[in-house]
Amino acid sequence: MKIREITVGALPDFIQSLEYKNLHPKPITPARAISQFKNPHAVKDDVALVFVAGNDDMLLAFAGLLPHKITGSGKRIFSNSGWWVHPQYGRKFGLPVFLHALRICRQRMFVADATAHTQSILEKTGLFTCCPPVKGSRFFLRFYSGEWLRKNKKSRFFSYLFSVLDKILNALISLRVSSQLKKNVAEKYSINSRSIIDDDLAEFIKKHPGDSCLMQDTAKLNWIVQNPWVTWTKEGPPLSYPFTYRVESFRQEFLEVKMGSETVALLLLSIRDKHASIPFIYYKKGVLNDVACILWNHLARIKSNSLVVFHQELRMALEKSGKIWLFRKNITRFAGYSKELNPIFAEKKFSFQDGEGDVVFT
């Protein structure tokens, strides 16, 4: 078993190489590779990818590493950006590849969005501190069963039929939604959409970092929104890659909430295939309930199908906002960090933001 390591600086050449061309499936997409190459918190010698392939160029397992900086000291830590094992031939290589990645980053690794299975493996290694499960909610705003059937390649007839039904039901609920839009409790606020942030907003984040330990500066946040890991163009042949990389639509915008001329909140809003999430949110104390209403108004206006939230305070604020949700589904995700990072994470109150690690990119 020979484990290959690809550094951040070598990623652009790697995706052009014959080795990459022959690998199946691919351990990284070109969009991810170029994005990681531009990471302002990485240095070129950081290892971004660790993988094992068989003699026939079949990819057996890989683990990704994404460098971050922590607030205060600016020391670098790494999130695990993907751990994949070939379901048939790669099972023996899963743990060695992951441990290799862990060793490379000097055991300074965190996992912000893991499955219960992954968390149980990490816990059993004895090398990780596992966080309590993070409860989240998916708030459904509109009916989209027709779309769901189409995407899951069910019968075209039923997909069409349900789309019509969705339209009727959405028209009915839009009456109630518009009445709620009129009773806007947050009239004293204005909302600005921005494609990138400037140093003033970065200063606002610095003042209101919340419980996150990870540094989010202008360079990093703008790099994130300018370099997503999914593509929505239909050009080019499909790529053999184990995770989702092609979607129908994906966009991100910063929403700056102002009271008069003062910024009181900043949200990064991601919309993927009409489903919204808030990877990052920063706010002044006391405004979150109003921000939740403003967010709901915005999502209703842009006709978002659903919103996923793990941020505990925002979730609570949305739940008690009195706004209309078709229904709400409880969801759970898991997180953890290597024990080397105990001094950073375990000794103070912290929580990962929803988009922490590599979640924000997809």
Cβ proximity to other proteins, 12 vs 96, nearer residue: 96
Cβ proximity to other proteins, 120 vs 178, nearer residue: 120
Give the interface segment with other proteins, choosing from 67-75, 99-107, 183-191, 271-279 (CB under 8 A).
Answer: 99-107
326 binds other proteins (CB under 8 A): no
Which long-range contacts (C-beta less than 8 Å, at least 24 apart) are formed by 14-19? 14/49, 19/57
* Distances 213 to 137, 198, 225 between C-alpha atoms, Å: 23, 21, 20
Cβ proximity to other proteins, 102 vs 359, nearer residue: 102
CA dist 263 and 283 (Å) reads 9
Total length of the chain: 362
Q: How far is the CB of 337 from other proteins (least distance, A)?
A: 16
139 binds other proteins (CB under 8 A): no
Neighbour tally for 259: CB within 10 Å: 15
Neighbour tally for 226: CB within 10 Å: 12
98 binds other proteins (CB under 8 A): yes
Using CB under 8 A, which of 92, 188, 251, 320 touches other proteins? 92
CA dist 230 and 232 (Å) reads 7
Cβ proximity to other proteins, 80 vs 351, nearer residue: 80
Q: How far is the CB of 111 from other proteins (least distance, A)?
A: 14
Contact by Cβ (8 Å): 252, 229: no
355 binds other proteins (CB under 8 A): no
> How many residues sit close enough to other proteins to count as binding (CB under 8 A)?
17
Q: Is 153 left (phi over 0), alpha (psi -120 to 50) or beta?
A: left
DSSP assignment, residue 188? T
CA dist 195 and 205 (Å) reads 16
Give the interface segment with other proteins, choosing from 47-55, 98-106, 148-156, 281-289 (CB under 8 A).
Answer: 98-106
Q: How far is the CB of 91 from other proteins (least distance, A)?
A: 4
142 binds other proteins (CB under 8 A): no
95 binds other proteins (CB under 8 A): yes
Contact by Cβ (8 Å): 347, 181: no
91 binds other proteins (CB under 8 A): yes
Cβ proximity to other proteins, 107 vs 170, nearer residue: 107
Question: What residues between 102 and 121 interact with other proteins by CB under 8 A?
Answer: 103, 117, 120-121
Cβ proximity to other proteins, 62 vs 283, nearer residue: 62
Using CB under 8 A, which of 16, 22, 115, 125 touches other proteins? 125
CA dist 241 and 238 (Å) reads 9
Q: How far is the CB of 46 from other proteins (least distance, A)?
A: 19
Q: How far is the CB of 212 from other proteins (least distance, A)?
A: 29
Give the interface segment with other proteins, choosing from 123-131, 193-201, 249-257, 258-266 (CB under 8 A).
Answer: 123-131
DSSP string, 208-223: --TT--B---HHHHHH
Using CB under 8 A, which of 96, 209, 210, 242 touches other proteins? 96
99 binds other proteins (CB under 8 A): yes
* Cα dihedral 298, 247, 109, 22 in deg (nearest 10): -170
The angle, 0 to 180 degrees and rounded to 10, between the axes of the packed helices 199-207 and 218-226 is: 110
Using CB under 8 A, which of 34, 127, 173, 219 touches other proteins? 127
In 3D space, the residue among 25, 209, 4 whose CA is nearest the CA of residue 96 turns out to be 4
What does the binding site for other proteins look like in residue numbers (CB under 8 A)?
85, 91-92, 94-96, 98-100, 103, 117, 120-121, 124-127
